[in-house]
Structure 1
Amino acid sequence: MAEDKKKEIDVTVTEEYLKEKLYKIRGKRVLLDADLAEIYGYDTKGFNRQVKNNIEKFDEDFMFELTDEELEDLRYKNCTANISSKSRYNPHVFTEQGLYMLMTVLKGPLAVKQSKALIRTFKKMKDYILENRDLIGQREILQLSMETANNRIEINKINSDMISIEKQAKSSIYVVDNYIGLRTLVHLKNSPTGVDIILFSDNVGNNKLHNIEFADFCKEYPTVKLSMKKTGGIFHDRFIVLDYGTADERVFLCGASSKDAGARITSIVEDYGISKYAPVIATLLKNSTLILPQ
C-alpha cells in the first residue's frame, strides 16, 4: 500500500491559525479534516484513511460527516474554508474530543510535534475557550485522558470479542442489523478468507452507509466475500449467525448496533436456542433482495 503521508508542509500552529480554522456546526466548535490533514502533513485522503483504519475510536461526538445542507451553509458563511470541490464525500469534522483521540492514532515525529503544538496553543487560548465552552480547558483535557484510559480496557474487550466471534466462522456470517455503518465493515475485514458474508439491512442511502463506502471497502479488501440484502423493514432484531444450516451453526444476540461495537459499552451474548432462529433466517433469505454489490 502506498504511504499515506504525501506532504511535509510544516504548518506553524498558532492561536490566530486555529481561530481561522474553527467552525461552529451542530452547536460544537470543529476542525475540518482537510485542515487537520494539513497540520499533520497528510493529504486529505491519506488522513481520512488513517481515521478509517481506527474508526472504532471515533464516535459521532468525536467526528461526523457534514450533511449537504451543512456543507452548503459552511461554504456560504466561510468562502475561504478548505473544502475540495472534487471530493466524492462531504468533509468530516472533528470536535475537541475527536482531536485528542486523533493524537492517539497519528504516529511519527511530525505528528508528535504538531500534537504538542496543538495542546500548548489551546492552553494559550484560555480566554477564547471560556468564551466558546464547546472547547475544553487543560484540566478537563487531563480528565478526558484519564476517563479514556479507564474505559479503554472495556471498550477494547468488546471490540476484540466481536472480531473473535467473526474469526470463528467456517462457511458463512449473517449480520442482521438495520443500523450498520462503516465500523461494521471494518470489523468484518477480520473474517476468515472464503467465508460468505451477508448483511441483512435497509440501511444504505439513509445517511448510515453510503454505496461509495461499501464499494471502496470491497475494492480495498477483495478477499472479503461481502454482499448486502434489503429486508423490506420486516426485522429489527440485531444478531449474528455463524455457519447457518450446518452442524457448526451459532447465534449471537447483540445489545447494540454492530456499527457501535468497540465504541460503546454493550453486550454480545451467544443464544443456544438455535432452532428458534431457523424460520427467521429462512424468511430473510427468501424475501430479501440483493442490493450490493450490483
Structure 2
Amino acid sequence: MHVTYTLDPVPALVQEPPFSYGVNPFPDEGLVRRTHNMRGQFVVLENDLAALYGVDPTELRTQVDHSAARFPEHLAFRLTAEEAGALPLSVRGSLNDGPRAFTAAGVLMLACVIGSERAVAISVRIMALFVRMRQVLVANQDLLLRLERLGERSINGHADIAATLNDLEHLFTPHPRDN
C-alpha cells in the first residue's frame, strides 16, 4: 500500500482560499504607499480605496454620504486644509472640501457599504497590513528611543546625521491633529 504525505501542516479545509474575486494579489508595498499616518492612526484615503475596490470615486463618496450615520469621526474624517496640503496633489486629489480618510474600522465599514466581494477581500488585506504596521511601531519603540538619544549627542556639527534622524523620527511618529 502506497501512502502519500503532504508537507502542508494545515488541512485544506482551513486554508485561506485564493483570491477569486477578481483581485490580483499585489505586493503589500502598493498598499503601504496608499497608507498614511494621520491623527495618530493609520488611514487610507477615499480615492485610493475607490481604486482598490474597483469603484468610481464619485460613486464611493455618494454611498458614504448616503450612509453618513455609519461613518462617525472615528471611522472616517475629512482632512483639514493643512493635512491635505501636506500630501502630494496626486494623492490628495482636487476635492474642494478635502479628501476623506478611513481608519481601519472605516475601511471595513466601507466594504460593507460597497457590498462587493472584491471590497471585502481588499479590506481584509488592508486590515492585515494595519496590524503588521502597528506591530512594527511597537517593536521599534526601543529603536526610536535610541535614535533620539543618538540625535541629542551627535547633532553638534553633523547636519547630515541630524537630517537623517529627523526623517526617521517623522516616519515613525504619529501626527495627531492640531486644533
Residues 31, 94 of structure 1: 8 Å contact kept: yes
Alignment partner of 1:113 is 2:94: no
Once the two structures are TM-superposed, the CA of residue 21 in structure 1 deviates from its matched residue by 0.5
The residue number in structure 2 matching 1:95 is 103
**Greater per-residue strand proportion:** 1
The 3-state SS of whatever aligns with 1:64 is strand
Query: Please, which of 68, 75, 84 is the counterpart of residue 93 of structure 2?
Result: 84
The 3-state SS of whatever aligns with 2:91 is coil
The residue number in structure 1 matching 2:18 is none
Q: 1:96 to 1:132 in 2, by over 3 A?
A: farther
Q: Distance in 1 between matches of 2:130 and 2:101?
A: 20
Q: Distance in 1 between matches of 2:43 and 2:63?
A: 19
Q: Which runs of 5+ in 2 are unaligned?
A: 1-21, 139-179
The C-alpha deviation readout for 1:60-119, integer Å capped at 9, x for no partner, is 0100001111111223xxx6x52223x332101000010111122112xxx212322431
Query: What is the TM-score when the length of structure 2 is the normalising length?
Result: 0.57
Q: 1:83 to 1:44 in 2, by over 3 A?
A: same
Residues 39-188 of structure 1 aligned to structure 2 (within 5 Å):
39-75=52-88, 81-85=90-94, 87-107=95-115, 111-120=116-125, 122-123=127-128, 127-132=132-137
Query: What is the TM-score when the length of structure 1 is the normalising length?
Result: 0.36
Aligned residue-pair number: 117
Superposition RMSD in Å:
2.5
Q: Which runs of 5+ in 1 are unaligned?
A: 1-8, 134-294
Q: Distance in 1 between matches of 2:98 and 2:122?
A: 28
Amino acid at match of 1:91: P
The C-alpha deviation readout for 1:8-58, integer Å capped at 9, x for no partner, is x96655411111100111111110000001111222211100111111001
**Greater per-residue helix proportion:** 2
Percent of matched pairs sharing the same residue: 26
Residues 34, 48 of structure 2: 8 Å contact kept: yes
Residues 68, 90 of structure 1: 8 Å contact kept: yes
The C-alpha deviation readout for 1:206-257, integer Å capped at 9, x for no partner, is xxxxxxxxxxxxxxxxxxxxxxxxxxxxxxxxxxxxxxxxxxxxxxxxxxxx
Query: Please, which of 26, 42, 48 is the counterpart of residue 29 of structure 1?
Result: 42
Q: Distance in 2 between matches of 1:34 and 1:27?
A: 21
Q: Distance in 1 between matches of 2:137 and 2:72?
A: 22
